[in-house]
Amino acid sequence: MSVMSIEKIVDQALQDGYLTPAMEAEVGRICDSASELSIEEYKALDRLMVSLLSGDVVAVPRKQFINVMEELVLTEAISRVAEIEATSESSLDVGDIAAYALNRLPPLYATTEEGANYQRQRARAELEKLIAQQVGEAIARNLHRPNDDRTPVGTKNTGNEILRQVSTLLQAYAPHFEQKSEY
């Protein structure tokens, strides 16, 4: 999704009838990075809120899934980093190492526990050496070129802030609104 304004995102959501996770994240990013929202932006957020409450716009839930490769790489990286740090003066960033290795390994997504177990078994049988190799390369790279001068991901507020803001607005505008069960 290209960078859009809050007004364009709301117009798109109203036109489509859906607020996608990407649209929600972009609104959150804009709200988090702006020192102050304009009147037009507040009006657009108000229109979105009214549309969400009325059901004219539906928030599309995020699909729950995991990338099993992430846990396998993190396990390998933590083990290797602990060994290195215990026997040397080196200090390594597990996140940098994992990201480097993950960018060079295939993802192994699963939506169920059974699927995750299948992916773990498959990875142990077919990818164990490749995982170890990529983590090793990531460690070697990190030892020679640490990322000390870069801003880590997650140091700014993200989508959770917009959810808090929308929740606060909903409480202010619709304090007695209750979702009716259709069961």
pLDDT digits (tens, 9 = 90+) for 35-47: 888 899 999 999 9
Band of pLDDT at residue 14, cut at 50, 70 and 90: very high
In a domain, 178, yes or no: no
Looking at residue 90, its pLDDT comes to 80
Percent of the chain with pLDDT over 90: 43
Q: Is the pLDDT of residue 166 over 80?
A: no
The count of structural domains within the chain is: 2
Q: How many C-alpha atoms does 135 have within 13 Å on its Cβ side?
A: 25
Q: Give the separation between CA 87 and CA 101, rounded to whole angstroms.
A: 23
User: In this model, does residue 183 exceed pLDDT 50?
Assistant: no
How far apart, in whole angstroms, are the C-alpha atoms of residue 52 and residue 113? 32
Indicate if 88 and 107 belong to the same structural domain. Answer: yes
CA pair distance 46, 150, nearest whole angstrom: 37
State the DSSP string of the chain: -----HHHHHHHHHHHTEE-HHHHHHHHHHHHH-SS--HHHHHHHHHHHHHHHHTSSEEPPPPP-EEHHHHHHHHHHHHHHHHHHHHSS----HHHHHHHHHTTS---EESSHHHHHHHHHHHHHHTHHHHHHHHHHHHHHHHHS--TTSPPTTSS--HHHHHHHHHHHHHHH-TT--PPP--
> Does a structural domain hold residue 150?
no
Model confidence at 33, pLDDT cuts 50, 70, 90, reads confident
- 75 with 48, same domain: the answer is no
pLDDT confidence band for 25 (50 / 70 / 90): confident
56 lies in the same domain as 80: no
Residue pair 21/56 in contact by the 8 Å Cβ criterion: no
The mean of the pLDDT values for the chain is: 82
Mean pLDDT calculated for residue range 173-183: 50
Residues 120 and 169 in one domain: no
pTM of this prediction exceeds 0.75:
no
- Reply yes or no on whether the pLDDT at 89 is more than 70: yes
Q: Residues 112, 160: one domain?
A: no
Rg of the chain over Cα atoms, rounded to whole angstroms, equals: 22
Per-residue pLDDT, 167: 64
Domain match, 92 and 140 both: yes
* Domain shared by 164 and 111, yes or no: no
Q: Which structural domain, as residue segments, surrounds residue 100?
A: 66-144
CB count within 10 Å of CB 76 equals: 20
Claim to verify: residue 52 and residue 73 sit in the same structural domain? no
Domain identity same for 74 and 133:
yes
58 shares its domain with 73: no
66-75, 79-88, 168-177, range with the lowest pLDDT: 168-177
pLDDT tens digits for 114-165?
Answer: 999 999 999 999 999 999 999 999 999 988 876 556 555 554 445 565 566 5
